[in-house]
Amino acid sequence: MSTPCSEGVVRMEKEVFVIALHEGGQFIQEMYETVAFARELCGGKPRIVVLAGDREIAGLADALARDTGLDVTGLSGRSLKHYSAEAYTKHVSAFFHNRGPVTLCIPHTAQGGDFAPQLSVCLDACCITAVERIEAGALVRSVFGGKFKAYHRPSAPSAVLTVLPGAWKRQVAVGDSPGRLTIVPVADDTLATTVHGIRESAHANTALSEAEVVVSAGRGVGKPEHVSNIRALCALFSKSAIGASRAVCDLGWLDYSHQIGSTGNRVSPRLYIACGISGAIQHIAGMKDSRTVIAINTDRRASIFGIARYCIVEDVNTFIPLIIDTYAKGRGKG
Amino acid sequence: MRILVCVKQVCDSADTLFIDQSSSWVEYGGHTVFRMNRYDEYALEEALRIRERFEGTGIDAVSIGPERAQATIRRALGMGADHGIHIYQEERGYLSPFDRAALISRAAADRGYHLILAGVMAEDDMEGQVGGLVAGMLGYACATSVISQELSPGTGEVLVEREIEGGRRERLNLKLPAVLTIQSGINIPRYPALSHMLRSRTAAIELIEAHALAPRASSGTRIRCAPAEAGSVGEFLEGTPEQKALRLLEILHEHSLL
């Protein structure tokens, strides 16, 4: 079957694979989202490859075959007990070596984004990262801070794709029988990488995760002294906390315990007020589950307005004092 | 210790951009201001700090682009890089991460770098690939999103922490040579002293023509670019700032948030 849509995208069912990422014996949510992406991409049943240590592989692969109804290949070995880009690149590329063109779908997480480019070199594949939509056969991703979209079509026979977290919804396989399971032991080898484990965040902030209202500062705040406006707005609400974009923390205006985003705190308050935040995908990943989002930004085209319920095109530094003033007057009257 | 830092020149703001005639990439308007990719500033700063600790370290800064890329290389020299390499590539729209990595790895191949540093991603195309691709092409070890590093030239290893979800950190040891992509926040990039910037103006920059590197056949992608649709599901509050403030307070009351 050849449609204009399929041009350049490998759509043959058997050739689309998901590399399943897991942590602490559990598959990450983004893995299931990537399965949904892969189903849309191939219009049928993709297959799954999961990598783990010898003791963990059977349980993981079995759960995956049951959860998704898809055929699962488990690669196991001592070097796969912990994630490392080196081991994943080596064993995934060995598995696909000489198999002909494939499309590999990987969650765009700190792990997926870590090994996908190296893997693409080993497979002579093209690499497209943080795919957020499939449109007429092209893979769509954000560029220039979300102001533009790029539509990619692979020009190599094989492709390694990473899928933006949250862009697809996990599908529940209903009535599907479990997929077939294959476990393949991989050769033990010495790696140039030694993994020492994971250290918890020094910046976890329970005030943020418990807050009902989060007021967040972005670069649009302009100066460190203007952060006081954000504090003042925050103080109008009970059970509120201050958040920040990564840029604001990098500039030292607020410390990293306030950072909201994929590598910071993830929040889902009743109300999220984004002040002078453009809406980078990494920031949105940390607050998209907020019930109501209000965004204030001078740029009408800012990506944050794409997900906000209420959009206000104003300069936060003049508008916030105005809100506080108007609120105070209202109370005085009432 | 020989270090290569990849510094990309990006436009300062997307506001001056428009889509080129073939809709394949953006064109830069006459008023476009260019500067060094912020993440690459962190990478360069980290290299400078390594040189402060380990005497005899040499830092090269490489950038790919047309004539204007020289300004970013001079900025790198002003910050303290020892040597600038300009891979000259005429203005031609989108250059894929694969093509960029192929050029950098060809240029780097015979220079015996122990460490190659790059920003975690470029602010313009946001692909986050060049570091990993260069590592793959050169057969270097690689860690991305590095938020701290401790180099041991004696053992030929580097201990790094990668920033992962939720601000947690994954610790790992890599054998050199290695590529590290540097996450923002690892340091505070220095502002070049005026005297250094003045000196960098006259510094010689090594020029390599991209086509002379004969990079491997592209395994890139065909690309089209379009402005993001407004696509807002929300309501824009209109009127004077005072009217917007009043309306916003009403909304907060309606949702029992105030």
Best-predicted range by mean pLDDT among A41-45, A66-70, B118-122? B118-122
Instruction: Let me know whether A80 and A130 are in one domain.
Output: yes
Q: Which of A16-20, B6-10, B223-227 has the lowest mean pLDDT?
A: B223-227
Tens digits of residue pLDDT in A207-244: 999 999 999 999 999 999 999 999 999 999 999 999 99
pLDDT band at A332; cut points 50, 70, 90: low
Instruction: Let me know whether A163 and A33 are in one domain.
Output: yes
Structural domain that includes position B75 = 2-213
Q: Which of A185, A217, A238 is the last residue of a domain?
A: A185
Looking from the CA of B206 toward its CB, the CA atoms found within 13 Å total 11
> Measured between beta carbons, which residues in chain B are less than 8 angstroms from residue A150?
94, 125, 223-225
Tens digits of residue pLDDT in B112-137: 999 999 999 999 999 999 999 999 99
Instruction: Let me know whether A79 and A112 are in one domain.
Output: yes
> Measured between beta carbons, which residues in chain A are less than 8 angstroms from residue B188?
252
DSSP secondary structure code for residue A226 in this structure = G
Q: What six digits make up the tokens of A18?
A: 């998901």
Instruction: Let me know whether A214 and A108 are in one domain.
Output: no
B66: domain CATH number is: 3.40.50.620
Q: What is the CA radius of gyration of chain B?
A: 21
* Domains of chain A: total: 2
Cis ω for the linkage preceding B97 (within 30 of 0): no
Instruction: Let me know whether A173 and A215 are in one domain.
Output: no
CA distance A196 to B143: 13
- Is residue A198 in a domain? no
Which H or E element spans position A87? helix A85-96
- Is residue A148 in a domain? yes
> Measured between beta carbons, which residues in chain A are less than 8 angstroms from residue B221?
126, 128, 152-155
Asked whether residue A4 carries a pLDDT value surpassing 50, the answer given is no
- Is residue A297 in a domain? yes
Q: What percent of chain B has pLDDT over 90?
A: 82
* Residues counted in chain B: 258
- Is residue A194 in a domain? no
A284: domain CATH number is: 3.40.50.1220
Comparing CA positions, the residue from B132, B131, B152, B174 lying closest to residue A192 is B174
ipTM entry: 0.93
- Is residue A190 in a domain? no
Tens digits of residue pLDDT in B11-37: 998 888 889 888 889 999 888 999 999
* Domains of chain B: total: 1
What integer pLDDT is reported at residue B230 of this predicted model?
64
CA distance A273 to A297: 11
Q: Which of A154, A185, A216 is the last residue of a domain?
A: A185
What integer pLDDT is reported at residue B231 of this predicted model?
66
> Measured between beta carbons, which residues in chain A are less than 8 angstroms from residue B183?
263
Instruction: Let me know whether A50 and A142 are in one domain.
Output: yes
Contact A151, B23 (CB under 8 A): no
CA distance A97 to A106: 18
Q: Which of A185, A220, A235 is the last residue of a domain?
A: A185
Is B236 in Cβ contact with A118 (below 8 Å)?
Answer: no
**Residue B8: partners with Cβ closer than 8 Å, 6 or more residues away:** B36, B37, B40, B63, B64, B65, B72, B119, B122, B124
- Is residue A195 in a domain? no
CA nearest to A209 within chain B: B166
Instruction: Let me know whether A150 and A31 are in one domain.
Output: yes
Number of H helices, E strands in chain A: 9, 18
Q: For residue B80, give how far its alpha carbon lies from the nearest alpha carbon of chain A (Å).
A: 21
Is B126 in Cβ contact with A144 (below 8 Å)?
Answer: yes
Question: Does the CB of B163 have a partner CB in chain A at under 8 Å?
Answer: yes
Q: What six digits make up the tokens of B46?
A: 């980290």
DSSP secondary structure code for residue A279 in this structure = -
CA distance B75 to B97: 22
- Is residue A197 in a domain? no
CA nearest to A239 within chain B: B257
Question: If you count residue pairs, one on A and one on B, with CB atoms under 8 Å apart, how many are there?
Answer: 267
Which H or E element spans position B71? helix B69-79
- Is residue B77 in a domain? yes
Q: Which of A7-21, A80-94, B47-61, B210-224 has the lowest mean pLDDT?
A: A7-21
CA distance A176 to A189: 38
* Three-class secondary structure of residue B207 per DSSP: strand
Q: For residue A28, give how far its alpha carbon lies from the nearest alpha carbon of chain B (Å).
A: 11
- Is residue B84 in a domain? yes
Strand B169-175 versus strand B235-236 pairing type = unpaired
Asked whether residue A13 carries a pLDDT value surpassing 60, the answer given is no
Structural domain that includes position A53 = 4-185
- Is residue B45 in a domain? yes
Contact A276, A221 (CB under 8 A): yes
- Is residue A199 in a domain? no
Tens digits of residue pLDDT in B213-231: 976 667 677 889 988 876 6
Q: What percent of chain A has pLDDT over 90?
A: 81
Instruction: Let me know whether A132 and A177 are in one domain.
Output: yes
